[in-house]
Chains A and B, each alone.
Chain A
Amino acid sequence: QKEVEQNSGPLSVPEGAIASLNCTYSDRVSQSFFWYRQYSGKSPELIMSIYSNGDKEDGRFTAQLNKASQYVSLLIRDSQPSDSATYLCAVNSAGTYKYIFGTGTRLKVLA
């Protein structure tokens, strides 16, 4: 089992729809969770961090964390073609200084 798992996609949604991206992790004691967006050929850029169970909203983005079920999700409301990118989930590796990244989900927003 991979430490951080994401569906590679592509996930295709029409413009204006809600995109839902999911991530599961294996380490029960992980405490810190991050979503990054990565455009093709570019480096990852931070979208959101979340540390507590529940929802955290920032503009069109909402991160949801459920530690009991070991998943974290990212919702993108009113999706735009410019949101088309790969979305990476990162989780801290307890007992180390490492962040573990998933392989990313490729999102395509269709105009």
Chain B
Amino acid sequence: DTGVSQDPRHKITKRGQNVTFRCDPISEHNRLYWYRQTLGQGPEFLTYFQNEAQLEKSRLLSDRFSAERPKGSFSTLEIQRTEQGDSAMYLCASSHGTGGFQPQHFGDGTRLSIL
């Protein structure tokens, strides 16, 4: 069990650029979540994958955000035309199970800073 891995740890980019983050979940975990967290707030749900299927997206997620999980293993989160308000910590979490809500295990996150 090597834990949830996220890459990169930090990303600094100019407004208007596209960025892509990667998450490698714990190997036997079929469930994968993306969250966004800003200072003083709890993690905010962005999207959920069960295996390769994206089963839920937050209504707060604009069309600039897209996520994939090809083959049900790693996942990528892309933000197009970044804005100042996108500056946040982006967290990936994974869990295992086919029913019910199981505890999630978080990666170390990717901190995004928009200049």
Are B42 and A88 in touch, CB under 8 angstroms? yes
Q: How far is the CB of A87 from chain B (nearest CB, A)?
A: 10
Give the A interface residue count (CB, 8 A): 24
User: Pick the contact of A101 from B44, B101, B103 — CB < 8 Å?
Assistant: B44
Interface string of B31-53 (1 = CB under 8 A from A): 00101000011111100101000
Interface-facing stretch out of A38-46, A66-74, A77-85:
A38-46
Are A45 and B106 in touch, CB under 8 angstroms? yes
Cα A110 to Cα B43 in complex, Å, equals: 27
Cα A43 to Cα B108 in complex, Å, equals: 5
Q: How far is the CB of A40 from chain B (nearest CB, A)?
A: 10
Are B105 and A97 in touch, CB under 8 angstroms? no
Residues of B participating in the A interface, judged by any CB pair closer than 8 Å: 33, 35, 40-45, 48, 50, 55-56, 58, 89, 91, 100-109
Residues of A participating in the B interface, judged by any CB pair closer than 8 Å: 4, 8, 31-32, 34, 36, 42-46, 49, 88, 90, 92, 96-104
